[in-house]
């Protein structure tokens, strides 16, 4: 299946401090990681983002273009490149503190007619850019499958109830939602995860996928179908970018199953459990490889295909 995917959202620098006190900088930002992961899997991915024409912005550009990601014209119009300070605990789990702004240039010009448009995380809720993201996503439904990952960042998103209002507005526009159980717990202040995911499917998406860390993932599909897959056991180095690589795999898997594009919307809504299970199994493998090494470093298609 040909075509390209447009990813809309933040690209920034992750300044990582590990439990042993060592530090490093990596290019990050959830949407940027998704675009990077798609390119690693051999897909034509374009990123519409907001970073500065500075040294860190040059690192962002080199990292993404080096993987084959196309940067939409106007993506480098920010006054400076944003930074997320990630602190890893002894298990590799990350907490974040942010120094960033988010917007989209009115002069930005991504390519027309993508078959998939993805957004999520900070870009979908942080003013002033969030309204532009919603406009772009709404317009994209004419040609594209819309995918969304709330990827909650509590320190930036305000009160859970306020964030949930924006999140659920985007969910209603999306065809596919990927969300962690921790994000649902925060957004809903402890409501049962499965009940929330089922209610989100009823609000519009064809597919809601809940990731559960070491407990695998569950998909909730239109018509009441549920698919559960186990996690793969690996030695975790860190969890930075793991959910984003899973999201890349989800888009890639639906792409391979010929389920992307507005003209495939009804086919996606009637997807069978076997197809969903195969896609999720591959996503879990992608996530496992990512957490087994430092930084947001998802596998290439060749690495994935080489696994037994």
Closest by CA position to 25, among listed 74, 101, 81, 90: 81
Nearest to 119 by CA among 206, 46, 42, 211: 46
Q: How many Å apart are CA 11 and CA 22, to the nearest integer? A: 23
**Tens-place pLDDT, residues 31-88:** 999 999 999 999 999 999 999 999 999 999 999 999 999 999 999 999 999 998 878 8
Domains of the chain, by residue range, sit at 5-299
Q: Does domain 5-299 have CATH number 3.40.50.2300?
A: no
Q: What is the rounded CA–CA span in Å between residue 112 and residue 93?
A: 38
The separation between CA 152 and the C-alpha centre of its own chain, rounded to angstroms, equals 11
pLDDT digits (tens, 9 = 90+) for 109-166: 999 999 999 999 999 999 999 999 999 999 999 999 999 999 998 888 888 988 999 9
> How far is residue 76's CA from residue 105's CA, in Å, rounded to a whole number?
9
Show the beta-strand stretches assigned E in the chain.
5-8, 12-17, 23-28, 45-48, 70-71, 83-88, 94-99, 116-120, 145-149, 176-180, 207-211, 217-221, 225-229
Query: pLDDT value at position 77?
Result: 93
Q: What is the pLDDT of residues 235-275, one digit of tens each?
A: 777 766 789 999 999 999 999 999 999 999 999 999 999 99
């Amino acid at each position: 299946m040909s075509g390209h995917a447009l990813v809309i959202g933040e690209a920034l620098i992750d300044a990582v401090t590990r439990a042993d006190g060592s530090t490093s900088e990596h290019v990050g930002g959830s949407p940027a990681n998704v675009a990077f992961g798609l390119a690693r899997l051999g897909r034509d991915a374009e990123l519409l983002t907001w970073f500065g024409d500075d040294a860190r912005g040059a690192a962002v550009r080199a990292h993404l273009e080096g993987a084959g990601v196309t940067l939409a014209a106007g993506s480098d119009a920010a006054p400076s490149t944003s930074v997320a300070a990630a602190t890893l605990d002894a298990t590799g789990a990350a907490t974040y503190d942010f120094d960033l702004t988010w917007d989209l240039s009115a002069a930005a010009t991504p390519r027309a007619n993508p078959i998939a448009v993805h957004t999520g995380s900070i870009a979908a809720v942080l003013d002033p850019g969030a309204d532009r993201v919603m406009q772009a996503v709404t317009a994209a439904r004419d040609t594209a499958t819309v995918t969304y990952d709330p990827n909650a960042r509590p320190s930036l998103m305000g009160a859970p109830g306020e964030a949930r209002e924006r999140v659920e507005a985007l969910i209603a526009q999306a065809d596919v939602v990927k969300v962690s159980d921790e994000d649902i717990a925060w957004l809903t202040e402890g409501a049962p995860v499965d009940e929330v995911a089922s209610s989100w499917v009823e609000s519009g998406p064809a597919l809601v996928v809940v990731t559960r860390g070491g407990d695998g993932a569950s998909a909730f599909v239109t018509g009441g179908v549920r698919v559960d897959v186990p996690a793969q056991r690996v030695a975790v180095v860190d969890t930075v970018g793991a959910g984003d690589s899973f999201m890349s795999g989800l888009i890639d898997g639906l792409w391979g199953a010929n389920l992307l594009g507005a003209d495939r919307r009804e086919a996606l809504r009637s997807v069978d459990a076997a197809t969903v299970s195969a896609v999720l199994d591959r996503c879990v493998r992608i996530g496992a490889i990512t957490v087994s090494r430092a930084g947001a470093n998802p596998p290439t298609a060749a690495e994935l295909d080489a696994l037994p």
